Amino acid sequence: MKAKPKAARKRTSQKRAKAFTGVHALLLFPSGEDHKATLDLMRRFSAGVRYAYNRLLEGQTREALKRENGPLRTFFRLNTRYADDAVMKAQAVLDSARERGEDPRKVVFGGRKLFETLRRRHLSGKPLKEVKREWKEKRQGLLYSRGDRTKGGNLNLRLEAEDGALWLRVNLGNGRYAWALVKTSHPNLSALVERVHASLPYNVELSLKDGKVHATFTWEEEPTPLAATKENGVLGIDVNSDPYHLALAVVGPDGNLKRHLTLSLEEVDRAPNRGTKELLLWKIAHQVVSLAEEHGVAVATERLKHLPKGRRGDGSGRAFRRKQHRFAYASLLRKVHSLARKKGVQVVEVNPQDTSAIGMLKYAPQLSLSKDVAAAYVIGRRALGFKEKLPKGYGKLLRDERFRDHAQGFYASRVRELQAKKAQEQNPYLRRRLSREIGKAKRHLSLLSSLQGSPGSQEGSTEGRNLLGGNPWRVLRVGLFLPLLGREVPRDLSPLKVILHRGAWEGWKGGLGPPPGGGPKCANVHFG
């Protein structure tokens, strides 16, 4: 655990992520004609973005699309800057689809959910009218202009301060302008006004919602010099939905655990409205960053892009869906990252693969930690570049044919019993749930079958190769938790200590699960 990681021997310059500050406001148009003209410009710009997206898919270049006699200038009557910004927006959507691994040809402007709702044609009257209005606003309600330092702020969508009020001048083209009063009480308003007076650049995006035009002003902040870096260690963070809390682990540069604690998020769950929830999340973010500043360490989190939250009718259960939908993982981490960068605290994001499994199997029993703190510890060690070696006891266990036979027999019997229960179940929702459990048991059986007398990759990654034994951490989790501890996510992991050190698993006692060699009883199996 004290071995110096290879990554620590190599110092590489890393680009710091850009930090943006923003202000959201409502636009009030004194003139009805100005309002109408702005909506028309937003409609043409939105259509230009969709057109540019399709042309980019065909291989056309940004320069070709924005040229003076190009379609964005002639068909959609956009000036050069608007045309260039439309192409940039289209490119951002294309890049986002590719990063998520989605087919760029299947992107739906306006939102797939609304599109599918309209396509089903099951609504009528007022509900249908509301969905159509929302669909139209998302499809046609966009206008964007980047800031430009050489133009004193923003040329197309320019802010003007006059008599204590802030006005937005919208360039309609052909020397015509529309004017709108900027109405907001955003805490960053004073910073925005300062930029206007100093002629500093700011980006402006207009959007349409409920018939009203909203504006979002953003600008890039000067990066704060780093005061807390991972050279001094890291603060590993793991967010958990049940119980709803943060697990924090301060990890020294040598990879050892220096301090650990948890912060409850139950108060966030009980917040009466979204505004209160946001304030509480910011409060938690301040506590996290203050802890990192106190120890002079970087902040380390998992890099997660999507968390499945379930949907009604999928058989996951109401309680499970509620826990997942209250899970403000992305929102909280965005706040932690934003605040950390402002405070000069380095932010490190790591691959989330198997952090929970490694924490539960290795450090929870070894250091008497909760599974969540153990996961935070693994995140911190991974951010520092440490590789997790498989303990000798676990390696011995994976080579034990009797253990593999027992685990495979457990899941084979489980599949049969679940299939029998499904055949007798009349409730369609419970049948779906049982189908999910059957599929999961079959996958676990297949994973156990991948063991061919080798413990596999001790780093938990095949790096593109199909090594014998597959992923040892996942095999251990499948083979130990449900067959021996009786739960897929056990709370008490201390019984694993003897296995971790000696690989001894036979003679299991304590009523934690079925005895070795015995089949499972579905009455004792916990869904989760």
pLDDT digits (tens, 9 = 90+) for 77-97: 999 999 999 999 999 999 999
Mean pLDDT of 429-451: 87
Tokens standing for residue 221 = 């902040």
pLDDT of residue 116 exceeding 70, the answer is yes
Of the two residues 313 and 34, the one the predictor is more confident about is: 34
Q: How confident is the model at residue 470 (pLDDT cuts 50, 70, 90)?
A: low
How many C-alpha atoms does 17 have within 13 Å on its Cβ side?
15
Q: How many domains does the chain have?
A: 3
Nearest Cα residue to 404 out of 306, 337, 472, 332: 472
Q: Do the strands 234-241 and 298-302 form a parallel or antiparallel pair, or are they unpaired?
A: parallel
Mean pLDDT of 150-167: 91
Domain presence at residue 520: no
- pLDDT the model gives residue 456: 42
Does the pTM of the predicted model rise above 0.95? no
Domain presence at residue 63: yes
Asked whether 444 and 328 are in contact (CB, 8 A), the reply is no
What type of residue is 360? M
- 32 lies in the same domain as 104: yes
- pLDDT the model gives residue 326: 47
Of the two residues 3 and 118, the one the predictor is more confident about is: 118
- 362 lies in the same domain as 444: no
Domain presence at residue 379: yes
Domain presence at residue 303: yes
Beta strands in 137-175 (DSSP E): 142-145, 157-162, 165-173
Mean pLDDT of 254-276: 89
What residues contact 94, with CB distance under 8 A and at least 6 apart?
A: 53, 56, 57, 104, 107
- 374 lies in the same domain as 438: no
Mean pLDDT of 312-330: 51
Q: How confident is the model at residue 304 (pLDDT cuts 50, 70, 90)?
A: low
Domain presence at residue 458: no
pLDDT > 90 in the chain, percent: 54
pLDDT of residue 392 exceeding 60, the answer is yes
First to last CA, the chain: 32
- 158 lies in the same domain as 41: yes
Mean pLDDT of 123-144: 95
- pLDDT the model gives residue 447: 87
- The parent domain of residue 204 ranges over 19-221
Task: Dump the DSSP string for 336-370.
Answer: HHHHHHHTTB-EEEE--TTHHHHIIIIIHHHHT--
The CA distance from 9 to 385, in Å, is 10
For 341-370, the pLDDT digits (tens) are 889 999 999 998 899 999 999 999 999 999
What residues contact 208, with CB distance under 8 A and at least 6 apart?
A: 39, 42, 137, 140, 141, 142, 214
Asked whether 474 and 459 are in contact (CB, 8 A), the reply is no
Q: How confident is the model at residue 225 (pLDDT cuts 50, 70, 90)?
A: confident
